[in-house]
Amino acid sequence: MNESMCRVQRGSFVYYTCRRIPVRHAFTTKFGGVSTGACESLNLGFNRGDELENVRENYRLLGEALGVDETRMTLTKQIHDTQVSVVTEDKVGMGLHRPMEWQSDAIVTALADTPIIGFYADCVVTLLYDPATHTAGVCHSGWRGMAAGILPKTVDVMAEQLGTKRESLIAVLGPSIRQECFETDADVPEAMEELLGAQVHPFIMEKGPKFHVDLQGIGVKLLQDAGLSAENVIDSGICTMCHSDEFWSHRVTHGVRGVQGGMICL
């Protein structure tokens, strides 16, 4: 685990933060909610077969624990694409308290007291914060989104539409499946090479007929290429598969699981 990351426990609620981000934020774990069965206990996903009232109560508990307004929580719609949306006042609460109108794996905002949330259970969720302009973003990327460049696109949208300064922007790549565990067939590295070219070669390791992909390494490089300074790009260093006692891992559970959230609130 990166030295800037902190594990925090408040009663049964367990989450991780990064010392580099001075606003309210969290990468949640399994723990701290009321869900049962395969989704026990802090499941934040509405499409996991969990009881609707349990998921809503989990969001209430999350807001209470972190001191954020649950009624203003605004969610990503994760389809492994590259759409980035700006959360303006007329979009606040989307996905939780109002119908989802976008298909955006990344959302960004300059609004105060507006928690924005992306979801993970092996994929990389990155929290972004610029102290110079007080703007924030959350970006979900599996290998498809990573290869398609959603992380630098998120940075571009923040810079162009919110005035975010690339040189002061901080990005934290959250708990996610890491290279030693992310085993794939050849189709994944081939697709990534098709989109990103030879720059992905250092992040792909061949082991017999299989390949191991370093999504975090690729993400760090793409963010630096997008103008972020090396010291402002933090890889949490936490593997969801290695720590499946604390995190849901899609691979470990074969998809029978709940969902964690990465949240940031100005």
pLDDT in tens, 206-216: 999 999 999 99
Q: 186: pLDDT confidence band, cut at 50, 70 and 90?
A: very high
**For the chain, what percent of residues have pLDDT higher than 70?**
100
Residues paired with residue 26 on neighbouring β-strands, in sequence order? 263
Q: How far apart are CA 220 and CA 51, in angstroms?
A: 37
Q: What is the mean pLDDT of residues 139-154?
A: 96
* Residue 194 identity: E
In what order do the strands lie in the sheet containing 24-28? 5-10, 13-18, 24-28, 260-265, 116-120, 74-75
**Mean pLDDT on 5-31:** 98
Cα–Cα distance, 80 to 67 (Å, whole number): 30
Q: Read off the pTM.
A: 0.97
Neighbours of 150 (CB within 10 A): 27
Average pLDDT over residues 61-80: 96
End-to-end C-alpha distance for the chain, whole angstroms: 25
pLDDT, the chain, mean = 97
What mean pLDDT do residues 133-140 have?
98
The residue type found at 33 is: G
> What pLDDT band is residue 229 in, cutting at 50, 70 and 90?
very high
- d(C-alpha 12, C-alpha 29), whole Å: 11
d(CA 202, CA 217): 9
**Cβ 258 vs Cβ 248: under 8 Å:** yes
Q: Which residues contact 136 (CB under 8 A, 6 or more apart)?
A: 23, 108, 109, 110, 116, 127, 128, 129, 130, 264, 265, 266
Average pLDDT over residues 243-252: 98
pLDDT band (50, 70, 90) for residue 42: very high
pLDDT at 195 over 90: no
Residue 191: predicted pLDDT: 87
Mean pLDDT on 146-160: 97
Q: What percent helix, strand, coil does the chain show, rounded to 5?
A: 30, 25, 45
The Cα–Cα gap between 87 and 162 comes to 10
What residue ranges define each of the domains in the chain, with the CATH number in brackets?
A: 5-265 (3.60.140.10)
Parallel, antiparallel or unpaired: strands 84-87 and 106-109: parallel
